[in-house]
Amino acid sequence: MKTILSIPSKVFRKLKNYLLPIEGDLEEAAFVFTSLIKNKNELIFKYKEWFPVQKDGFSSRSSFHFELSNEIRAGIIKKAHDLDCSIIEFHSHLGSFPSCFSPSDWCGFEEFVPHVLWRLKGKPYVAVVVAKSGFDALVWKSKWQNSKFLDELRIGKNSISPTRLSFPRRRYYE
């Protein structure tokens, strides 16, 4: 099944400008809330709204790492629950490196993703990292141990593919 994130082009421009400001020297984060559209060949995460994380929403932040405050984490989960939506995490990586999740990102996922899957009763969770050179994205549909690549990001009528430089985690024994 192909997994697709669909965002209007105007919204994506605002989101990308927020995550990668011209003068920025710290990682930025935002969350997109999506409804799910399933058909036999595709799972589409369809944009509903987005939430930029402001300065006071971080408990720590640098040019290579961030940690959200407990209030922001709880608020994101509550908003998704109230909207009956999945959560799409977006964050930025600075520099000219190709887009890929870092070891720091994986530590955050290990803590946050299982909690979100449990709190939102199995709604999928998506993480997207953007850099000037592109993006990478992973999807967790039900279990922390099993992630897969997002296949496509639809921005309006255009589609772009992730770098696929991050290695999805798979659990081969159960």
In a domain, 172, yes or no: no
What's the pLDDT at 143? 72
* Residue 73 vs residue 167, higher pLDDT: 73
What's the pLDDT at 169? 63
Report the CATH number that the domain containing residue 107 is assigned in CATH.
3.40.140.10
In a domain, 92, yes or no: yes
In a domain, 85, yes or no: yes
CA 28 – CA 21 distance, rounded (Å): 9
In a domain, 123, yes or no: yes
Q: How does pLDDT run across 128-161, given as a tens digit for each residue? A: 999 998 999 999 987 766 889 999 999 999 999 9
What's the pLDDT at 128? 98
pLDDT(172) > 50: no
Average the pLDDT over 87-107 and give the result: 91
In a domain, 171, yes or no: no
Per-position DSSP letters for the chain, written without gaps between them: -EEEEEE-HHHHHHHHHHHS-TT--S--EEEEEEEEEE-SSEEEEEEEEEEEPPGGGEEEE-SS-EEE-HHHHHHHHHHHHHHT-EEEEEEE--SSSPP---HHHHHHHHHHHHHHHHHTTT--EEEEEEETTEEEEEEESS-TT-EEE--EEEETTEEE-----S--------
User: What residues make up the domain containing 64?
Assistant: 2-160
In a domain, 82, yes or no: yes
N residues, the chain:
174
Between 41-55, 70-84, 156-170, the lowest mean confidence (pLDDT) is in 156-170
Average the pLDDT over 36-43 and give the result: 94
Per the listing, tokens 């039900």 go with 142
In a domain, 167, yes or no: no
Please name which of 158, 140, 124 lies closest in space to residue 38, comparing C-alpha atoms.
124
Q: How many structural domains compose the chain?
A: 1
146 close to 171: Cβ distance less than 8 angstroms: yes
In a domain, 21, yes or no: yes
Average the pLDDT over 92-110 and give the result: 90
Q: Helices 103-119 and 70-83 sit at what angle, rounded to 10 degrees?
A: 50
**pTM for this structure?**
0.93
24 close to 63: Cβ distance less than 8 angstroms: no
pLDDT(91) > 70: yes
